[in-house]
Structure 1
Amino acid sequence: MFESLSDKLDGAFKKLAGQATINEINIGIAMRDIKRALLGADVNYKVVKKLVEDVRQKSLGEGVIKSVSPAQMIVKIVSDELTELMGGEQKPLALSSSRLPAVVMVAGLQGSGKTTFAAKLAKRLKKSGRNPLLVAADVYRPAAVDQLKTLGAEVSVPVFSIEEKDAMKVAMQGLEAAKAGAHDVLIVDTAGRLQIDDAMMAEAEALKNALKPDELLFVVDSMMGQEAVNTAKAFNDRLDFDGVVLTKLDGDSRGGAALSIRHVVEKPIKFMSVGEKVDDLDQFYPDRMAQRILGMGDIVSFVEKAQESLDMEATLQMQKKLMKNEFDLNDFFDQLQQLKKMGSMQSLIEMVPGLNKMVPKQDLENLDFKPIEAIISSMTKEEKSRPEIINGSRRQRIALGSGTRVQDVNMLLKQFGEMKKMMRSVSKLSGNGRKITSQNLALDKFLKR
Structure 2
Amino acid sequence: MFDALAESLESAWKKLRGQDKIRESNIQDALQEVRRALLAADVNLQVVKDFVTEVEKQALGADVIAGVKPDQQFIKIVYDELVKVMGDTNVPLAQAETSPTVILMAGLQGTGKTTATAKLALHLAKENRKTLLVATDVYRPAAVDQLVTLGQQIKIPVFEMGTDANPVEIARQGLAKAKEMGVDTVIIDTAGRLQIDGNMMAELAQIKETVQPHETLLVVDAMTGQEAANLTRTFHEQIGITGAILTKLDGDTRGGAALSVRQISGQPIKFVGVGEKVEALQPFYPERMAQRILGMGDVLTLVEKAQEEIDIADAAKMQEKILKAQFDFSDFLKQMRLMKNMGSLGGLLKMIPGMGKLSGEQLQKGESELKKAEAIISSMTKEERQNPDLLTGSPSRRRRIAKGSGHSDSQVTELVGKFMQMRSMMQKMGQGEMPEMFGGMGGMNRPAQPGWRGYTGAPGKTKKKKDKKKKGFGTL
Q: Same fold (TM over 0.5)?
A: yes
Task: Find the counterpart in structure 1 of residue 181 from structure 2.
Answer: 181
Are 2:242 and 1:242 aligned? yes
Task: Find the counterpart in structure 2 of residue 130 from structure 1.
Answer: 129
Shift of 1:172: 0.8
Equivalent-residue separation in structure 2 for 1:176 and 1:96 (angstroms): 16
SS of residue in 1 equivalent to 2:262: helix
Q: Which runs of 5+ in 1 are unaligned?
A: 432-449
Give the residue type in structure 1 aligned to 2:251: G
Task: Find the counterpart in structure 2 of residue 377 from structure 1.
Answer: 378
Count matched residues: 429
With 239-248 and 58-67 compared, the bigger mean Cα shift is at 58-67
> Structure 2-normalised TM-score?
0.86
Task: Find the counterpart in structure 2 of residue 297 from structure 1.
Answer: 297
Identity over the aligned pairs, expressed in percent? 50
Give the residue type in structure 1 aligned to 2:220: V
Structure 1 contact 222–252 (Cα < 8 Å) conserved: no
Equivalent-residue separation in structure 2 for 1:59 and 1:209 (angstroms): 48
Q: What root-mean-square deviation, in Å, do the aligned CA atoms of Structure 1 and Structure 2 show?
A: 1.9
Structure 2 contact 226–256 (Cα < 8 Å) conserved: yes
SS of residue in 2 equivalent to 1:28: helix
Q: How far does the alpha carbon of each residue in 1:175-215 deviate from its partner, in whole angstroms, 9 at most, with x for none?
A: 11111111121000111011111111111111111111011
SS of residue in 1 equivalent to 2:63: coil
Q: How far does the alpha carbon of each residue in 1:319-359 deviate from its partner, in whole angstroms, 9 at most, with x for none?
A: 111111211111001111110111111111111000222x3
Give the residue type in structure 1 aligned to 2:60: L
Are 2:154 and 1:149 aligned? no
Task: Find the counterpart in structure 2 of residue 284 from structure 1.
Answer: 284
Give runs of aligned pairs for residues 388-399 of structure 1, distance below 5 A: 388-390=389-391, 391-399=394-402
Shift of 1:258: 0.4
Structure 2 contact 43–260 (Cα < 8 Å) conserved: yes
Give the residue type in structure 2 aligned to 1:36: R
Task: Find the counterpart in structure 2 of residue 438 from structure 1.
Answer: none
Structure 1 contact 327–420 (Cα < 8 Å) conserved: yes
Equivalent-residue separation in structure 2 for 1:299 and 1:333 (angstroms): 24
Task: Find the counterpart in structure 2 of residue 31 from structure 1.
Answer: 31
Shift of 1:392: 3.1
Shift of 1:142: 0.6
Give the residue type in structure 2 aligned to 1:383: E
Give the residue type in structure 1 aligned to 2:245: V
Select the structure that is richer in helix.
1
Give the residue type in structure 1 aligned to 2:376: I
CA spacing shift, 1:21–1:229, aligned 2, 3 Å: same
SS of residue in 1 equivalent to 2:102: strand
Equivalent-residue separation in structure 2 for 1:216 and 1:364 (angstroms): 38
Q: How far does the alpha carbon of each residue in 1:72-123 deviate from its partner, in whole angstroms, 9 at most, with x for none?
A: 100100000000000001100011032x211001001111111111111111
CA spacing shift, 1:353–1:62, aligned 2, 3 Å: closer
Give runs of aligned pairs for residues 193-204 of structure 1, distance below 5 A: 193-204=193-204
Give runs of aligned pairs for residues 37-436 of structure 1, distance below 5 A: 37-65=37-65, 67-98=67-98, 100-163=99-162, 164-357=164-357, 359-365=358-364, 367=367, 369-390=370-391, 391-417=394-420, 419-420=422-423, 428-430=431-433
Equivalent-residue separation in structure 2 for 1:198 and 1:418 (angstroms): 67
Give the residue type in structure 2 aligned to 1:21: K
Give the residue type in structure 2 aligned to 1:416: F
Equivalent-residue separation in structure 2 for 1:28 and 1:95 (angstroms): 47
Shift of 1:62: 4.8
With 264-273 and 320-329 compared, the bigger mean Cα shift is at 320-329
Q: Which runs of 5+ in 2 are unaligned?
A: 435-476
Task: Find the counterpart in structure 1 of residue 437 from structure 2.
Answer: none
SS of residue in 1 equivalent to 2:250: helix
Shift of 1:377: 1.6
Equivalent-residue separation in structure 2 for 1:411 and 1:251 (angstroms): 35
Equivalent-residue separation in structure 2 for 1:255 and 1:38 (angstroms): 8
Task: Find the counterpart in structure 2 of residue 2 from structure 1.
Answer: 2
Shift of 1:407: 4.6
Shift of 1:411: 4.5
Shift of 1:413: 3.0
